[in-house]
């Protein structure tokens, strides 16, 4: 099953400072209804540059739960 992940870029740019949670809409081929997944951004500072680390493991985990439920 392929998931088409659409991330809202405006919210990403707006909440880029600090630790925020994005809602990622995951669409599957059999499921029409979107599932909102909390997407936690962890900011770490490396060489004076802030790098946002996305929790992709949580995304795949909730994706499998979505396949099991629906």
Instruction: Name the token pair of 64.
Output: 């499998």
3: DSSP letter? -
Query: How high is the pLDDT of residue 47?
Result: 47
- pLDDT digits over 32-68, tens only? 444 444 444 444 444 444 444 444 445 555 555 555 5
Q: Cα separation of 13 and 6, whole Å? A: 15
- Say which DSSP state 63 is in: H
Q: Indicate the number of domains in the chain.
A: 1
Q: Which domain holds residue 46?
A: 4-69
Opening angle at CA 14, ends 8 and 16, nearest 5: 95
What's the start-to-end Cα distance of the chain, in Å?
Answer: 13
Determine the 3-state secondary structure of 32 from DSSP.
coil
Mean pLDDT of 10-19: 47
Can you give the pTM of this predicted structure? 0.18
pLDDT value for 11: 47
Q: Considering only residues 62 and 12, tell me which one the structure prediction assigns the higher pLDDT.
A: 62
């Amino acid at each position: 099953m392929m998931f088409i992940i659409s991330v809202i870029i405006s919210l990403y740019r707006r909440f880029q400072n600090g630790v925020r949670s994005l809602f990622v809409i995951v669409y599957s081929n059999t499921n029409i209804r979107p599932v909102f997944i909390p997407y936690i951004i962890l900011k770490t500072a490396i060489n004076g540059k802030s790098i946002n680390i996305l929790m992709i493991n949580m995304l795949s985990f909730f994706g499998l739960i979505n396949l099991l439920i629906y």
